[in-house]
Structure 1
Amino acid sequence: MVLDQVWATFIDHLNQAQPIDDVKKTHMAGTPFLYLSVSDEIENKEMKKIIETAAVQSMKGKRLHFEAIFVRKDQHSHVYRCRFFVPQEKMFCCGNFCHDCIRFRN
């Protein structure tokens, strides 16, 4: 499956990121969570930027969206709820002159 490859690439990119020491992915109730261990104290904004950069690199050439939601932070670990998903697209024209109408595709 393509999403498994994207997740593997994503975790590899995160493992190579500078402040991150270890990355663990777990599923709870069908939702993937990332546990990120860091050696130095890092702000949530900086960590989210690192995560999103790794996601963009792993999604390159694929039509996916990414969502990362901060859950909690300890002294040297961060927890995020992350998911890759396929965007929902319209399959027919509804007649409402939508900007993403199927009629405008080439």
Structure 2
Amino acid sequence: MDLLYIWNHFLQTLRGKDAINSVEFKKITGIPFIYITSILEKDVLEEEVKKASAQAMRGKRLHSNTVFVRQEQHLYVYRHRFFVPQEKMFCCGNLCVDCVRLK
């Protein structure tokens, strides 16, 4: 699974929204940030980010996490990441308690 494809899809979806003026992606010390310029209110914008994230992850075994960092007038900064869930995805044959065969 290529996370670059997921990120590009996510950013293009956000850029396609009418109420969002610009979206910029920056990775600072390995932590991904998105800078969004929009006329939307914070909670409405966060819902749009959540929808775009869900659309980009559709059909993949991924999760996303978005954390508000700061705001300056109409510029919103979020720490956003896509990650693989920390759970077993195959049976190792050791009869583990949390085996995927028991789900």
Q: TM-score, with normalisation over the residues of structure 1?
A: 0.84
SS in 2 for 1:79: strand
Residue of structure 2 in register with 1:51 after alignment: 49
Q: TM-score, with normalisation over the residues of structure 2?
A: 0.86
Q: Which aligned runs of 4 or more in structure 1 are off by greater than 6 angstroms?
A: none
Residue of structure 1 in register with 2:16 after alignment: 16
Q: CA deviation at 1:103?
A: 2.7
Distance in 1 between residues matched to 2:48 and 2:2, nearest whole Å: 22
Aligned length: 99
Distance in 1 between residues matched to 2:80 and 2:57, nearest whole Å: 14
Distance in 1 between residues matched to 2:34 and 2:68, nearest whole Å: 10
Distance in 1 between residues matched to 2:13 and 2:62, nearest whole Å: 17
Unaligned runs of 5+ in 1: none
- List per-residue Cα deviations over 1:16-58 (Å, max 9, x = no partner): 11211111000111000000011x2x22211110001000111
Between the aligned residues of both structures, percent identity stands at 39
